[in-house]
Amino acid sequence: MDIIQKYMTKNRCYTSPVTITVKKLVLHSLGVAQPNSDIIFNKMNTNNATVSVHGFIEADRIIQVLPWNYKGWHVGTGKKGSYNNFAIGIELCEPKGHTYNGGTMVNYDVSANKAYFTKVYNNAIQLFAMLCMEWELNPLKDIVCHCEVYTLGYGSNHADVMQWLPKHKKSMDTFRTDVRNKMNNITVIKKSSSAKETELIQKQLI
Ligand SMILES: [Zn+2]
């Protein structure tokens, strides 16, 4: 899937950029039932917004909204500091239909949302594999979610994404492993010499 670039040109993270060296990738989810990232984009794309992210993942779109090496305001600050200083933040858009009680999803229909979840999860694997290769990161060590960053002491106390992934029998460990496997597959394809070989490998992957 192609990545759509649509920068938040009014957000202060874009208009007064602070460049960062990317060392970590943070997976978030919106914490609200909103599959359309345009709604969130419009809220963030103002000159007084106090939050920003680098990208959104929808069921059928991957959208980059800040240059990867611009500092975003996505994970807050913890007792040891902030991952914002060296991490890309990506939001998974959540499907319609549920509400929240604190950090817990209420009335989330697992079976009805299975297909949606599979799409955003797989899109996230694709994007994170690409970002790990671009920034030479180790997917098993350098990918974390917001609640993990909080536990590490470098972010605010949010539940994402572990309020959601386990409902579909996924975790950050399965995600990290899936990204690593995707990277291995991409590397195999890149190294192969002929178009015929590539075709063969792609068939094997499917
Ligand atoms: Zn978050």
Separation of CA 191 and ligand 1 centre (Å): 36
Domains of the chain: 3-205 (3.40.80.10)
Instruction: Copy the structure tokens of residue 70.
Output: 């611009």
CB atoms within 5 A of ion ligand 1 belong to: 28, 146, 158, 160
Separation of CA 186 and ligand 1 centre (Å): 28
- Model confidence, pTM: 0.92
CA distance linking residue 104 with residue 111, whole number of Å: 18
User: One digit per residue, pLDDT tens: the chain, 206 residues?
Assistant: 899 999 999 999 999 999 999 999 999 999 999 999 999 999 999 999 999 999 999 999 999 999 999 999 999 999 999 999 999 999 999 999 999 999 999 999 999 999 999 999 999 999 999 999 999 999 999 999 999 999 999 999 999 999 999 999 999 999 999 999 999 988 776 766 566 666 766 666 65
**Are residues 39 and 99 in contact, defined by beta-carbon separation less than 8 angstroms?**
no
